[in-house]
Amino acid sequence: MPERAEDHWIETERGRLFARLWTPDHRALASRAAVLLFHDSLGSVELWRDFPGRLAEATGRAVVAYDRLGFGRSDAAGAPVPPDFIRAEGRDNVPVLRAALGLGRLALFGHSVGGGMAVATAARWPDACVGVVTESAQAFVEDVTLAGIREAEVVFRAPDQLARLARYHGDKAPWVLDAWIGTWTSAAFADWSLDEDLRKMTCPLLALHGDRDEYGSPRHPERIAREAGGTSEMLLLADTGHVPHRERPDAVLAAVARFLAPLP
């Protein structure tokens, strides 16, 4: 862990959240909006690897990553995923994180379903958000997404793969897997889309996506950029799958640093 990274345990009404804060220098947290990272459906703070530290150095901003309830080192969720879980993250947990860590305005970066959470957070708290970056985000329930999830289910149900998930989520690993698969393949979620939240956004948006994303076609970033209420741009990364920040970190860091540079 980099020297300027600090671990925090944050109490909420439903359980403790684990968060990690990276600061490139002592002034970063006070001088510019911090970047808040939202992880994907199987993600955690540890699975971001060295990306948050590199992002802090590339942007000169503080960066915060946290484990959602049920994931990583945070407490177990203790309940099934609610139908409004994408919006609920910004409504319930982001204000607690901001208060506990002394965060002012935020730049939001979300990977996969975390991208939807970033958009929904910006829509709910427009005065607090200076910009949003979505990476491999879904804007609706696409056949490509469902096919990718069903293929992944076969892989992740294998004992060795479930054990790999347990390295990051402990005994919560089966819940993490079931939450991902059960939510996206349920009939109740079939008509979900990000459109309403996108239209309520007022801050700038950058939609990053790999042209070989196994969980969503380029229709997703196209729709995200088209429906966003503020200024928007889309960047389709060549020969890239669902995790651009791991597959093409330099390209992602450069794009995000450029996007955030003029923002407060």
Task: Give the side-chain half-sphere CA count within 13 A for 254.
Answer: 6
Query: Closest Cα partner for 55 from 100, 98, 116, 107?
Result: 107
Rounded CA separation 225/214 (Å)? 20
**Could you report the per-residue pLDDT of 190-231, keeping only the tens digit for each?**
999 999 999 999 999 999 999 999 999 999 999 999 999 999
For residue 183, the surrounding DSSP H or E stretch is helix 173-185
Q: How many residues comprise the chain?
A: 264
- Two tokens, residue 92: 């319930």
CB distance 56 to 25 below 8 Å: no
Convert 223-260 to b/e letters by CB count within 10 Å (16 or more is b).
Answer: bbbebbbeebebbebeebbbbbbbebbebbbebbeebb
Per-residue confidence (pLDDT) for residue 235, from 0 to 100: 98
pLDDT value at 3 more than 70 = no
Task: Give the side-chain half-sphere CA count within 13 A for 2.
Answer: 19
The DSSP call for residue 71 is S
Torsion of CA 154, 155, 157, 161, to 10 degrees: 180
Rounded CA separation 124/84 (Å)? 13
Query: Closest Cα partner for 20 from 11, 10, 30, 12?
Result: 10
Mean pLDDT for 82-90 is 95
Domains for the chain: give ranges and CATH numbers: 5-141+193-260 (3.40.50.1820)
pLDDT value at 1 more than 50 = no
For residue 129, the surrounding DSSP H or E stretch is strand 129-135
Per-residue confidence (pLDDT) for residue 2, from 0 to 100: 47
Residue 78 pLDDT level (bands cut at 50, 70, 90)? confident
**Could you report the per-residue pLDDT of 141-170, keeping only the tens digit for each?**
999 999 999 998 888 888 898 899 999 999
Q: Report how far Cα 195 is from the mean position of its chain's Cα atoms.
A: 17
On average, the pLDDT of the chain sits at: 95
Residue 119 pLDDT level (bands cut at 50, 70, 90)? very high
Give me the sheet containing 205-210, strands edge to edge.
5-12, 15-22, 63-67, 34-38, 106-111, 129-135, 205-210, 232-237
For residue 5, the surrounding DSSP H or E stretch is strand 5-12
18: helix, coil or strand?
strand
Task: Give the side-chain half-sphere CA count within 13 A for 224.
Answer: 34
**Could you report the per-residue pLDDT of 12-48, keeping only the tens digit for each?**
999 999 999 999 887 777 789 999 999 999 999 999 9
Per-residue confidence (pLDDT) for residue 33, from 0 to 100: 96
Q: Give 54's strand partners.
A: none
Residue 177 pLDDT level (bands cut at 50, 70, 90)? very high
